[in-house]
Amino acid sequence: MEKDRLDPWGQSAVKDYARLQEEFGIEPVAPLIPRFKRPSAHLSRGIDFGQRDLVRILDAVDHNKPFAVMSGIKPDLAFHLGNKMTADDMVYFQSLSKKATVFYSIADVEAYTDNGLSFKETAKTAIRNVADMLALGLDAERTIAYKQSEEMRVMRLSTIFSRGVTNNMLRAIYGERQIGLYLSALVQAGDILMPQLPDLGGPKPVLVPVGADQDPHVRLARDLAAKYGSEFSFVPPSAIYHRLELALNGGSKMSKRTPESGFTLDDSSIEASRRILNSFTGGRDTVEEQRRLGGRADICPVYDLYRFHFASDEAHVQTVYDECTQGTRLCGDCKREAAGLARKFLDEHRRKRDSMMDEAKDLLRRSRDYLLSKGRE
Ligand code: SF4
């Protein structure tokens, strides 16, 4: 059987999440769900499937202690649906406590090392991405947004960490890669551990919400937290992992690298509809077979659109699943309904996002001033 791959820079494929948990030591989220007063859609729909030390964050929430929610998004293109999932988790975990601060890293070093995009090219996209985050519900008052390339703490930490890792260690986690990608991995470890530096409040729980394919970065940061524990007293970072969304074109995962596999929040409603209407499905070859055997929602990217993004509530997800698997729902109608929901979401989101561009610039300015002022103390 083909092994599941976790490649933060490539085509990850996960067929068996239980096996993945076993192989990489990721713990299931399900036993912790009773501790959430109001679980998010990601938690209650099993989209967030795995975690590391999530209990630290839940304890911080219960005891009203400070914690950070940290994730980075590469400003190589407009937000795509995978970025939206990370953003949804960041917004949700920030909402759990007034003591939660989001650290949002604009991963422009990674956009350069992985995609060859200059810092100048990614600067514009970065502002739109921050506006996307705000439109998705991020509380700007408790957010620090910064560019990797401009944040000296991140650069300093990655330089320090570069003496603590060997080629073998990086090869074991990431496989054989170009040095630039190893560098960006160290920079991301700097991102993950920065919220615990003394001038930013010192050691504290940090939650990293990411897709399953980003687990190598979390493992590296946790190894480094342990390695530099005596120097910085780092608390090992916690993580929550969401599933990878099935690709509309039948590939293993939606990816920005393959536009037809999904759509971005900048694609026109017409284009997004077109991709959904042309999507691969879990349907049968004929209507007669579909009615008799039912569809296969579990392998259907259109079902993922409902479950991960656009279903109005749990009952709606369940209805789509039941009607599909019992053969009372046909793929053409199902795709048309999903396309309508996506169009509605995209139109509303874009309106909101475009009205938040000034707020995004303001957040970046305030964050830079705050980080500079803390550095001077
Ligand atoms: S009916 Fe909908 S959910 Fe079921 S296989 Fe067809 S498109 Fe997918």
Q: What spacing in Å lies between the alpha carbon of 285 and ligand 1's midpoint?
A: 12
Task: Please determine whether the domains at 17-245 and 259-354 fall in the same fold group of CATH.
Answer: no
Please check whether the domain covering 259-354 is classified as CATH 3.30.70.1560. no
Q: Which token pair is 38? A: 């109001």
CA distances from 149 to 123, 165, 184 (A): 11, 21, 10
CATH number for the region 17-245 comes to: 3.40.50.620
Would the CB of 335 count as within 6 Å of ligand 1?
yes
Would the CB of 329 count as within 6 Å of ligand 1?
yes
Q: What spacing in Å lies between the alpha carbon of 322 and ligand 1's midpoint?
A: 10
Cα angle: 63, vertex 66, 71; to 5 degrees: 125
Q: What spacing in Å lies between the alpha carbon of 102 and ligand 1's midpoint?
A: 37
206 closest CA partner among 162, 240, 174, 182: 240
What is the distance, to the nearest Å, from the Cα of residue 180 to the centroid of all Cα atoms in its chain? Answer: 22
pLDDT (tens place) for every residue of the chain, 377 residues total: 445 555 665 655 666 777 777 777 899 999 999 999 999 999 999 999 999 999 999 999 999 999 999 998 888 878 899 899 999 999 999 999 999 999 999 989 888 888 888 888 899 899 999 999 999 999 999 999 999 999 999 999 999 999 989 889 898 888 888 888 888 899 999 999 999 999 999 999 999 999 888 899 999 999 999 999 889 999 999 999 999 888 998 876 777 677 788 899 999 999 999 999 999 999 999 999 999 999 999 999 999 999 999 998 999 999 999 999 999 999 999 999 999 999 999 999 999 999 999 999 999 999 999 999 987 66
Q: What spacing in Å lies between the alpha carbon of 200 and ligand 1's midpoint?
A: 48
Q: What spacing in Å lies between the alpha carbon of 321 and ligand 1's midpoint?
A: 8
Pocket test residue of 248, 280, 302, 322 for ligand 1, highest count of atoms within 8 A of CB: 302
Q: Which token pair is 58? A: 């839940």
Alpha-carbon distance 313 to 47, whole Å? Answer: 14
- SS3 readout for the chain: CCCCECCCCCCCECCCHHHHHHHHCCEECHHHHHHCCCCCHHHHCCCEEEEECHHHHHHHHHCCCCEEEEEEECCCCCCEHHHHHHHHHHHHHHHCCCCEEEEEEECHHHHHHHHCCCHHHHHHHHHHHHHHHHHCCCCHHHEEEEEHHHCHHHHHHHHHHHCCCCHHHHHHHHCCCCHHHHHHHHHHHHHHHHHHCHHHCCCCCEEEEEEHHHHHHHHHHHHHHHHCHHHHCCCCCEEEEECCCCCCCCCCCCECCEHHHCCECCCCHHHHHHHHHCCCCCCCCCHHHHHHHCCCHHHCHHHHHHHHHHCCCHHHHHHHHHHHHCCCCCHHHHHHHHHHHHHHHHHHHHHHHHCCHHHHHHHHHHHHHHHHHHHHC
- Burial class from Cβ neighbours inside 10 Å (0-12, 13-18, 19+) for residue 313 reads exposed
Each domain of the chain, given as residue ranges in start order, spans 17-245, 259-354
Would the CB of 303 count as within 6 Å of ligand 1?
yes
What's the confidence (pLDDT) of residue 4? Answer: 54
Nearest CA residue ID for atom 1, ligand 1: 331
What's the confidence (pLDDT) of residue 306? Answer: 97
Would the CB of 165 count as within 6 Å of ligand 1?
no
What's the confidence (pLDDT) of residue 2? Answer: 47
Would the CB of 50 count as within 6 Å of ligand 1?
no
Would the CB of 302 count as within 6 Å of ligand 1?
yes
What's the confidence (pLDDT) of residue 1? Answer: 44
What's the confidence (pLDDT) of residue 5? Answer: 58
Q: What spacing in Å lies between the alpha carbon of 150 and ligand 1's midpoint?
A: 46
Would the CB of 281 count as within 6 Å of ligand 1?
yes
Cα angle: 125, vertex 180, 151; to 5 degrees: 55
Q: What spacing in Å lies between the alpha carbon of 280 and ligand 1's midpoint?
A: 9
Alpha-carbon distance 61 to 68, whole Å? Answer: 11
What's the confidence (pLDDT) of residue 217? Answer: 92
Q: What spacing in Å lies between the alpha carbon of 42 and ligand 1's midpoint?
A: 20
